[in-house]
Amino acid sequence: MTQTPLVDLRDICLSFGGVRAVDHVSIDLHAGEVVGLLGHNGAGKSTLIKILSGAYQKDSGEIRINGELADINSPRDARRYNIETIYQTLALADNLDAASNLFLGRELTTALGFVNDAQMEAETRKIMARLNPNFKKLKEPVSALSGGQRQSVAIARAVYFNAKILIMDEPTAALGVHETQMVADLIKELKAQGLGIFLISHDTREMLDLCDRVSVMKNGALVGTERVEDVTEDDILSMIIMGKNPKKAA
Amino acid sequence: MTDTSTDTTPAAPKRTLIQSLEIDLRLLGMIGAFAIVCITFNLLTEGRFLTPRNIFNLTIQTASVAIMATGMVFVIVTRHIDLAVGALLATCSAMMAMTQTTWLPQYLGLELGHPLIPWIAIAVGILTGALIGAFQGWLVGYMAIPAFIVTLGGLLVWRNVGWYLTNGQTIGPLDETYRAFGGISGTLGEFWSWIFGLVATAAALWILAASRRNKKAHGFPLKPLWAEGVVAAIVTIGIMGFIWILNSYQIPSRVLARDFAARGLEVPEGYSAAYGLPISVLLLIAVAVVMTIVARRTRLGRYIFATGGNPDAAELSGINTRLLTVKVFAIMGALCGLAALVASARLANHSNDIGTLDELRVIAAAVIGGTALSGGIGTIYGAILGALIMQSLQSGMAMVGVDAPLQNIVVGAVLVLAVLIDIIYRRRTGAG
Ligand SMILES: Nc1ncnc2c1ncn2[C@@H]1O[C@H](COP(=O)(O)OP(=O)(O)OP(=O)(O)O)[C@@H](O)[C@H]1O
Ligand SMILES: [Mg+2]
């Protein structure tokens, strides 16, 4: 691909105290592409994408969006670049209902500037009808929802606001087989609409199925990035475990 | 729907009376507790507790703590605490007392009794509260010092700043217009109290109708019409009944005679007048309405509750939680200023011990009213009801002749019990 990437992370570093959570990592993402991030627990995947979503500030390196240097210092900044994130920890306010969570930070308001709960609820019904037709608990606080239902709220929040760049950190970790399939279908649909998606998962087979390219991290560093058609599941596993790219070594 | 792993909506939802009315169960419980307290004391005092006079006194004794309790809801909902409210009230009261008796007359040359004096003094008091509150909020939000510590320090600091402002002296008498905010010396009178009742009822009914219209417009399920009717009737009877009770408290004839004599007149034959709605209670109602709107209908309120529910989620949603903390404490401070107005106006002077132990009453009111110390949950009306329950307990016990130490033991026990009941209730209903 020679066109300018949608997202270009270059030489990103971030340390927590003495721990190098992200160590000179460079990754890019194109429109209509799904790039998977793999690696052991604590490899630095979540930290890397949190830098892109504005939750953490990088120590060094640069972020380019559509080729232009982007200054992302807060989640608010990331939203301005149409970056939406589904966090591993879901990041929902448990005491609020689905609609309040979906619109949190971007409430619809009436002409007088008051929050318009009725309209937000109606919008939530609409998007939920598309994403998860079984979702009925609109009035209850999300603490009353199952893990999968909470997940659909988090996904709905990312999808509703016309994201161009979507970050999904283990979106299927809490889901049953059926719901996992729904998320997979959704990812394909969004990809077809031209979104760029960063996907994090520990399920290697699922990743090979959904992603165009996969990047493997270990101890904060990038082991390698490969097109899925060029590698086998075993290659990926050995990259994760050994921290070496078998194709490069060969 | 055969898929049991997902939501199951019962085919024919059986609705109980309370469900159809969509009344908050917790609210019902608190009203029940309040009713039990009132009826018990009424029996023990042989009917002296539920007289118009005593109810009037209860409302004016509750106003100051209730005003602060609405602000404490926001503080506790965002997982903080404010132990300095009583001390801050004293500082605001001292500022207002000094402004009207000393500073304005001495430095601006406004003579005592000048019509601008009370209003400038009130503005100074509220501003003082808001600024000190904002400062404490800044220490909590931006400097990351726990609110418990900041306000524990504030408890000592502000009470004694108040002391220095007045050199430890009691300041009074306060301006007459100013004193009208305190209670018995400032009431609407019978006619205007009725007018207020009518306007309030009309507004409440309009809100009910508007909310139904709004639901209909979005195609949401509606309550049955009879249920709306019942709710409307309860609201109407509640408001008008309250006004009727206050309007039944007649001004004693010797007070009337004194008032007329002051104007060089005599009381006409058969003349009587009622106190009606105290201005301090009117102020409390206004605060309650505004704070409820803020909590439910504004982004600020939404962010307060979201931050309380999950601070990380709020932060990741782009909410500036540090600035939010400053705002919450500033609101609390401004309300301390308002409460200081009501409290010092009621006493007709400023004394150094004003508001002592109010922090405990205010926190207890919020907590009894269902505000969860773990954050994210609480209502304005609950806190006001909580304040009313606390005050009723205290006044009732005083009327029955319970010793002061035992009164405090009971109030302390009730606070712990209320929280226990709340925890059990939440566990049962699975909420929060
Ligand atoms: N807020 C933090 N403070 C200190 N250290 C952190 C913080 N967040 C992450 N780390 C450390 O950074 C490293 C990378 O963590 P990260 O959460 O990015 O891993 P991950 O690849 O997402 O793992 P998992 O698969 O378990 O989600 C770990 O060593 C972790 O302990
Ligand atoms: Mg992670």
Residue pLDDT tens, chain A, 250 long? 568 999 999 999 999 998 999 999 999 999 999 999 999 999 999 999 999 999 999 999 999 999 999 999 999 999 999 999 999 887 899 999 999 999 999 999 999 999 999 999 999 999 998 888 888 888 889 998 888 888 889 989 988 998 999 999 998 887 888 888 888 999 999 999 999 999 999 999 999 999 999 999 999 999 999 999 999 999 999 999 988 877 665 4
In a domain, A112, yes or no: no
Instruction: Work out the percent of chain B whose per-residue pLDDT is above 70.
Output: 94
Looking at the complex, report in whole angstroms how far the Cα of residue B6 sits from the nearest Cα belonging to chain A: 6
Query: B351 and B213, same structural domain?
Result: no
Residue with tokens 């627990």: A41
Condensed to tens digits (0 to 9), the pLDDT of residues B233-254 reads: 999 999 999 999 999 998 888 8
Query: B167 and B216, same structural domain?
Result: no
Query: B203 and B267, same structural domain?
Result: yes
Ligand 1 atom 9: the closest Cα is on which residue?
Answer: A47
* Ligand 1 geometric centre to CA of A148 (Å): 24
* Ligand 2 geometric centre to CA of A160 (Å): 24
In a domain, A134, yes or no: no
In a domain, B236, yes or no: yes
**Cβ distance of A95 and B3 shorter than 8 Å:** no
How far is the C-alpha of B173 from the C-alpha of B190, rounded, in Å?
27
In a domain, B10, yes or no: no
B6 pLDDT higher than 60: no
Q: Tell me the residue range of the domain where B238 lies.
A: 188-277
In a domain, A118, yes or no: no
Pocket-forming residues, ligand 1, beta carbon under 6 Å: A 16, 19, 21, 39, 41-47, 88
Last residue of a domain, one of B234, B262, B277: B277
Residue with tokens 């404010």: B82
* Ligand 2 geometric centre to CA of A46 (Å): 4
Position B293 confidence tier, pLDDT thresholds 50, 70, 90: very high
What does the DSSP assignment read for A84-131? EEE-TT----TTSBHHHHHTTTS--B-TTS-B-HHHHHHHHHHHHHHH
pLDDT at A2: 63
B4 pLDDT higher than 50: no
Number of separate domains in chain A: 1
Number of separate domains in chain B: 2
**Cβ distance of B7 and A134 shorter than 8 Å:** yes
> Which phi and psi angles does B144 have, rounded to 5°?
60, 30
Condensed to tens digits (0 to 9), the pLDDT of residues B298-324 reads: 999 999 999 999 999 999 999 999 999
Looking at the complex, report in whole angstroms how far the Cα of residue A153 sits from the nearest Cα belonging to chain B: 13
Query: B199 and B177, same structural domain?
Result: no
Query: B405 and B384, same structural domain?
Result: yes
Query: B205 and B254, same structural domain?
Result: yes
CA distances to A111, A116, B83, B302 from A119, rounded to whole Å, are: 13, 6, 39, 15
How far is the C-alpha of B58 from the C-alpha of B49, rounded, in Å?
10
In a domain, A109, yes or no: no
Query: B202 and B178, same structural domain?
Result: no
Position B2 confidence tier, pLDDT thresholds 50, 70, 90: very low
Our CA dihedral for A52, A56, A59, A64, rounded to 10 degrees, sits at 20
Condensed to tens digits (0 to 9), the pLDDT of residues B362-418 reads: 999 999 999 998 899 999 999 999 999 999 999 999 999 999 899 989 988 988 988
> Which ipTM score applies to this complex?
0.90
Q: Which among B3, B312, B376 has CB closest to A134?
A: B3
Q: Tell me the residue range of the domain where A55 lies.
A: 7-94+149-249
Query: B369 and B326, same structural domain?
Result: yes
Is residue B340 within 8 Å of residue B162, measured between CB atoms? Answer: no
Condensed to tens digits (0 to 9), the pLDDT of residues B151-179 reads: 999 999 999 999 999 999 999 899 999 99
Q: Which residues pair with A36 in a beta bridge?
A: A199, A214
B294 → chain A, closest CA residue: A114
Condensed to tens digits (0 to 9), the pLDDT of residues B66-122 reads: 999 999 999 999 999 999 999 999 999 999 999 999 999 898 888 888 899 999 999
Spell out the alpha helix ranges (H) of B299-353: 299-309, 311-316, 321-347
Condensed to tens digits (0 to 9), the pLDDT of residues B203-223 reads: 999 999 998 998 888 888 888
Looking at the complex, report in whole angstroms how far the Cα of residue B318 sits from the nearest Cα belonging to chain A: 5
**Cβ distance of A94 and B376 shorter than 8 Å:** yes
Q: Which among A95, A136, A149 has CB closest to B432?
A: A95
Q: Please give the mean pLDDT across all residues of chain B.
A: 90
In a domain, B6, yes or no: no
Query: B126 and B42, same structural domain?
Result: yes
Query: B311 and B170, same structural domain?
Result: yes
CA distances to A9, A20, A211 from A203, rounded to whole Å, are: 24, 25, 12
**Is B40 or B184 the better-scoring residue by pLDDT?**
B40
Query: B295 and B149, same structural domain?
Result: yes
Q: Which residues pair with A217 in a beta bridge?
A: A39, A222
Position B44 confidence tier, pLDDT thresholds 50, 70, 90: very high
